[in-house]
Structure 1
Amino acid sequence: MPARRSRAPRFYFNFRSPYSWIAYRDLMDRYPDVAQAVEWHPWWEPDADHERRMAEHRHHFPYAAMSREKHLYILQDVRRLTADRGLAVSWPVDVDPVWEVPHLPYFLALDAGLGPAYIERVYRARWLEGRDICDRATIAAIAEELGLPPDRAAAAADDEELRGGRGLRALLTLSEAGAFGVPFFTHGYDKFWGVDRLPAFVDSVRSGARPGPGSGARARDTPPAAPSGTDFAGPSGTDFAAARSADPGHAGGCG
């Protein structure tokens, strides 16, 4: 039986990608009504443990590593895009990053009603301040600024409830959506990839579709259905196979 599709528009956001950050800024600055309507879903490159857990559920991470040539192009492209928006980017240096470190605390912030504030602060730390957001001390400092427990936020990547529960559900959800790069937007069965597709996504959302459940402050991570034979809880009566949407010809998604 095919998987059910959410009718609510979704934004798959990622803290690593400069394109995701630019799309976030455009969404907040140019389309605040749509920012309030979408469901916010974190997207990150899983570590070896999360990749193993995804495979156990017959899913994979639908992303292909980018080439050196594309990486060099992105440096130029992002410089143009940020200059056009009046943003002064400060390029961070990633040394052995573990992306669960900045992304899993989002769920803690979400539960505290601070989801949007956490997203904004982490983006600012990485792209305007050039800080290492995979450094647990950085995440602890951000959490403390927001009034979240700093020790728990810093240790979120080691929290089995987050890692094996909501974190895994988030990864399975993006796999099911075929979110092969970021920024990635979905509206029913329609998919929009990249900063330049944001206006089309906005038009789709504004054209009369049902609104989402609210802003990032209230939207909850939506678990997909579990493949047969697993103990992964999801909506009853549904089953799906792993998405196969990575495109080797466009490795690296949109950054």
Structure 2
Amino acid sequence: MAAKRSKVPRFYFNFRSPYSWIAYRDLMDRYPDVAQAVEWHLWWEPDADGERRMAEHGHHFPYSAMSREKHLYILQDVRRLTADRGLAVSWPVDHDPVWEVPHLPYFLALDAGLGPAWIERVYRARWQEGRDICDRTTIADIAGELGLSAERAAAAADDEELRGGRGLRALLGLSEAGAFGVPFFTHGYDKFWGVDRLAAFVASVRSGSGSRPGSGARESPLTGVPEADFAAARSADPGHAGGCG
């Protein structure tokens, strides 16, 4: 199967991952020109209903839960990365999270011209204020601060139009892109995973490159793995020092 080319650079992000938050801060603070140039694509772990909808379209969510040992490592690693950047982090506690709750209202914010403001405020609530962003009260508060309908934002996870429309298209899109974790970046035929690959992604965007098959690009380390199986093969080990879910 031929590799798919992203015509514009893309940033796959979510609100759960500390690495996604750090990549967001680096883009905004260090590479604002690239932040303006990329397409921003939501990535979140769907609930059972979301997974069922994906399966009905012949797709699966390309991620599996990390081990306790890896989670403990990430706690240490994120402390190091945030200290290097002068960021104060307040680690949140998740209680039976439903990730549609903070992610689907993003589409409502986009419609109101407040997409960037929603991203900034939800990240800040989770990673710097330690708030539970899967609590609908938290989402209602954030929506109210931004001038959005608090009631509609809090109920976005129950909105059939959002779930079966833009929400489902976002999930199918990340599956098609092989985005097996976040932060995940694509440019041309090239894919970059993790905070530690952000600088390479930035260089690719600024240079206007984006290698083509047969153009001298490095081969995938998964020699012999078909493109269609790439996400499934990598999802067996979904986290490293610069990326997770």
| Interval containing the TM-score (normalised by the shorter chain) | 0.7 to 0.9
Please report the TM-score for the alignment, with normalisation by the length of structure 2. Answer: 0.88
Instruction: Tell me which residue corresponds to 2:32.
Output: 32
Secondary structure in 1 matching 2:185: strand
Amino acid corresponding to residue 118 of structure 1 in structure 2: W
Task: State the Cα deviation string for residues 65-98 of structure 1 (Å, max 9, x = none).
Answer: 1111100000000000000000110000000000
2:179 touches 2:231 (CA, 8 Å); kept in 1? no
TM-score between both structures, scaled by the size of structure 1: 0.84
**Structure 1, residues 26-50: CA drift from partner, whole Å, max 9, x if none?**
0000000000000000100000000
Q: Structure 2 residue aligned with 1:247, among 229, 234, 242?
A: 234
| CA-based RMSD | 1.9
Unaligned runs of 5+ in 1: 211-239
Name the residue aligned to 1:202. 202
Distance 1:194 1:163, change over 3 A: same
Contact 1:10 1:39 in 2 (8 A): yes
- Identify the structure with bigger relative contact order (alpha carbons < 8 Å, sequence gap 6+): 1
Residue aligned with 1:10, SS: strand
Aligned to 2:126: 126
- Compared CA separation, residues 49 and 207, structure 1 to 2 (3 A): same
Aligned position for 1:186 = 186
Helix, strand or coil: the match of 2:7? coil
Residue 108 in 1 paired to residue 95 in 2? no
Determine if the alignment matches structure 1 residue 69 to structure 2 residue 69: yes
**Residue equivalent to 2:145:** 145
Corresponding residue pairs, total: 226
1:16 aligns with 2:16: yes
Distance 2:98 2:230 in 1: 24
Whether the 8 Å CA contact 1:63–1:252 is kept in 2: the answer is no
**What residue ranges of structure 2 are gaps of 5+ in the alignment?**
211-226
What corresponds to 2:81 in structure 1? Answer: 81
CA contact (8 A) 2:10 2:41 kept: yes
- Post-superposition shift, 1:5? 3.1
- Runs of 4 or more off by more than 6 Å in structure 1? 240-243
Quote how far apart the aligned CAs of 1:188 are.
Answer: 1.8
The one-letter code matched in structure 1 to 2:167 is: G
Could you tell me which amino acid in structure 2 is paired with residue 31 of structure 1? Y
SS for the counterpart of 1:8 is strand
Q: How far did 1:248 drift?
A: 5.0
Output the amino acid matched with 2:237.
Answer: H
Cα gap change, 1:245 to 1:188, in 2 (>3 Å): farther
Q: Percent identity?
A: 85
> Can you list the C-alpha shifts for 1:86-133, whole angstroms capped at 9, x where unaligned?
011000000000000000000010111100000000000000000000
Partner secondary structure for residue 108 of structure 2:
helix
Structure 1 pair 110/205, CA: closer, same or farther in 2 (3 Å)? same
Cα deviation, residue 246, structure 1: 4.5
Q: For the residues of structure 1 that align with 2:48 and 2:110, how far apart are their CA atoms?
A: 25
- Does the aligned pair in 2 maintain the 1:63–1:246 contact within 8 Å? no
Q: What SS does the corresponding residue of 1:15 show, helix, strand or coil?
A: coil
Letter in 2 for 1:206: R
Deviation for aligned residue 1:245: 3.2
Residue 96 (structure 1) aligned with residue 83 (structure 2): no
- CA displacement at 1:64 relative to structure 2: 1.6
SS at match of 2:6: coil
